[in-house]
Amino acid sequence: MKLAFWRPEYETGFKPVDEQHKHLFDIINRLHNAMSEGHGNDVLKETLDELIQYTVEHFSMEEKLMREYEYPGYEEHKGVHDQLTKQVKDIAQKFENGERFVTVELSHFLTKWLIHHIKGQDQKMIRFFRENHVFDKEGTLV
């Protein structure tokens, strides 16, 4: 069953970011399925690793653009990214060490976090990108 449903209101209008956000929803759904359907630890570990890797890539892309265009909220936004990355890496590490089980609470937490982040910090950043012509009307990077 799907957990993270994409809604039009999450759309920022900047295509690369929207596509990456949708992809993150997709990984969270796969992680959620792996847990709720009781898949083995190897599948969970693989999906968690994929989530971490893709999240790091996605955050780096946003951060690179924020630096390039001297976004005034950079430090704050990066701080939020770093905190989430650390949290998820810690969970994955503990899971690998057998110190912790990963449950559906994690996928619920990630879904809430992502939606909150998109509707808050990301929309704010995208507004700045739009005003500074980082992307055109089609939503493509200029």
- Positions that interact with Fe ion (CB under 5 A): 62, 122
Structure tokens at 24: 């993150």
Based on CB atoms, which residue is closest to Fe ion, 18 or 62? 62
Tell me how far apart the alpha carbons of residues 3 and 124 are, in angstroms, rounded to a whole number: 25
End-to-end CA distance of the chain: 38
Q: What is the DSSP letter of 118?
A: I
Structure tokens at 41: 């630890």
Q: What are phi and psi of 101, to 5 degrees?
A: -90, 150
Shortest CB 122 distance to Fe ion, Å: 5
Shortest CB 7 distance to Fe ion, Å: 17
Shortest CB 121 distance to Fe ion, Å: 6
Based on CB atoms, which residue is closest to Fe ion, 22 or 94? 22
Based on CB atoms, which residue is closest to Fe ion, 36 or 53? 53
